[in-house]
Structure 1
Amino acid sequence: IRCLDEAVGRIVHSIEQLGIAENTLIIFTNDNGGLTEEVNRPWRGTKNTTFEGGIRVPCVFRWLGVITPTSVCKELMHVTDLFSTLVSIGGGSTKQALPLDGHDMSSVIFEGKKSQRTEMLIEATGSVRLPSMRSGQWKLVGEALFNLQTDPYEHDDVSELHPEIVIELRERILALSAERPPLGDLSHVMDPALPFVYGQLENASTPEEIRSHVEKARREQQQVWEAGTYPWPPPPQDGQITYEGDGR
């Protein structure tokens, strides 16, 4: 955390030293949740899962004189919305032949208006993860249904109580998945989908400890994990990170 904090601080300091802070929008966000449930609590799940702990991340905006410091926006937003939003801020146009996945959220961020996003495709079909989607208060993870309004931490599967919602979201996932262009030359697709490590030379000499963990993940990741469990090895209880001051 200290290393990350100092790295971000260097960027912010440089912007201020250049005198462009009032004309610069800084966005700090992440691509997924933490590796273990300990760091994601109270949210369920981990990185590489479609539970909230695996996909819900912080997104911090800083723009001096435009965004009120310490203000909080709780509206639904997806990372694909950033493109449309930034184009709008810059005065550009997002008109094109094919529709964009993202929405312009500038009025949400700067004026406090409601988000126009009502649904979010989290994982399409044909992935190593469970097909998942959120629509309003409902979220489908594989065949498990959660009401995020009353159960934000995804403990109670209510699919048997609302089979019509399950069918509706499942059909919506299939429809959106069908919009993807064909993969084309399959020789360019990663095979296996979850390699031991990246790189042919590295894969040829993968340590047995890593190989066994990855093989176990391949077998077990296509399932709904119980709350409090995850497919990753436990973190060291007495581990420490040595900060070198140069990003390492």
Structure 2
Amino acid sequence: GHWGEYFDPPLEHNGKMFRAKGFIVDVLVGKALEFIETNREKPFFCYIPLTTPHSPFSVPDEHWNKFKDSPVTMRGEEGDKEDLAVTHTVLAMMDNIDVNVGRVLKKLDDLKLSENTIVVYFSDNGPNSFRWNGGMKGKKGVTDEGGVRSVLFMRWPGKIKQDTLITPIAGAIDLLPTLTALAGVKPVSTKPLDGLDLSPLLLGGEWKRGPRELINYNGGKLSVRTQTHRLDASGGLFDMIADPNQTKNIAAEQPELAAKLTATATAWHQEVFGKPYVAKAAGGKGKGQGKEKGKKPGAEPFMDDRPYPVGYTEFPITMLEARDGIPHGEAKHSSGAPNCSYFV
């Protein structure tokens, strides 16, 4: 995601750059439909990561015209910071996404693949602008509920019953073990998986797992979520059942639970980064968006000296984009937000 151009965007396909024609989401879904058509006679995995709703806030007129003059009745927690033009564009982008999801589902219907295809629709994080977020604290860039909680819908006609609601907390780390189990495929991995296989819950089977803890980490700030509570990046503890908007810190009232979750955060950070986690000072109301530059007050720099492999042997070329790099010395990104930028 995060392309700087949404109309006739520059894209890469199998190691070669080209400029597409049309709106980015329409283009990506169009290529996905071609892939599905080509592989209709054999099992396939088709991942379609859309770039919207996200900046740059531009969208085809056919969608914009539906919302440009509509009243925004559901406002963000910090309404004075909300840019209604941005919110209108986001609504139009969602309308475009809705149309494109419909294109995918129609293609599966037309090819008579719907009954034997698992469809998953999910998002990655909270909103990246000040807009309605269900009253949850935070948005994209923070590890509070509003920054990390997102939707996930799954469809498998005849297998997953309609209106099935999964109540145990889950995360993106559960997708690999869950989908491979549903598809009857054994994961190929030399490393242990932190995620859980949720297929028993989806198929109406027995769930034998006990309570779990999920880790959220971004920009040096770490949070721990249980089924009922969240320990935030500053060490505050919140009852997510009685206080889902995180308005009352109860760490002093439940010191044992706070200490337990703090130990979880410390152990995770030690295992992943090789050093213990130090809680960060609370940053005001925690409603803002962190910037991924490693310069936030209290945040540790985005630096990890451990080597890691890049690319895949199947691809002839691996592109290392400037937006993912860390500038040193006098070098800097061409844009305040490094998305689709270059070094100057």
CA displacement at 1:108 relative to structure 2: 0.9
Q: What do you get for the CA RMSD once the two structures are aligned?
A: 2.9
Tell me whether 27-36 or 107-116 shows the greater mean CA deviation: 107-116
Number of paired residues?
200
> How far is the alpha carbon of 1:166 from its aligned partner?
2.1
Name the counterpart of 1:50.
Answer: 143
Q: Deviations over 1:87-126 (max 9, x none)?
A: 1122233485532011000001111644736110112xxx
Which residue number corresponds to residue 159 of structure 2? Answer: 66
Moved more, 4-13 or 46-55: 46-55
Instruction: State the match for 1:167 in structure 2.
Output: 259
Shift in CA distance, 199/154, structure 1 to aligned 2, threshold 3 Å: closer
Q: Which of 105, 109, 115 is the equivalent residue of 1:16?
A: 109
Deviation at 1:149, TM superposition (A): 2.0
SS of residue matched to 1:180: helix
Q: Which amino acid aligns with 1:44?
A: K
Write out per-residue CA displacement over residues 209-239 of structure 1, whole angstroms, 9 at most, x where no aligned residue.
xxxxxxxxxxxxxxxxxxxxxxxxxxxxxxx
TM-score (norm 2): 0.52
Provide the identity percentage. Answer: 25
Query: Where in structure 2 are the equivalents of 1:63-142 lying within 5 Å?
Result: 63-94=156-187, 97-111=190-204, 113-114=206-207, 116=209, 118-123=212-217, 127-142=218-233
How far has the Cα of 1:178 moved from its partner?
2.2
- Who is 1:145 aligned against? 237
Runs (5+) with no aligned partner, structure 2: 1-93, 275-303, 309-319
SS of 2:105's partner is: helix
Cα deviation for residue 146 of structure 1 reads: 0.5
Distance in 1 separating the partners of 2:342 and 2:188: 44
What SS does the aligned partner of 2:257 have? Answer: helix
Counterpart CA distance in 1 for 2:166 and 2:221 is: 29
Q: Describe the shift of the 1:52–1:162 C-alpha distance in structure 2 as closer, same or farther (beyond 3 A).
A: same
Matched, 1:191 2:288: no
Please tell me the residue identity of whatever aligns with 1:69: Q
Confirm or deny: 8 A CA contact 1:45 1:53 kept in the other structure. Answer: yes
Unaligned runs of 5+ in 1: 205-248
SS at match of 2:132: helix
Q: 1: CA distance between counterparts of 2:196 and 2:163?
A: 24
Residue type of the partner of 1:82?
A: L
Which residue in 2 is equivalent to 1:154?
246
Amino acid corresponding to residue 14 of structure 1 in structure 2: K
State the TM-score, normalized to the length of structure 1: 0.71
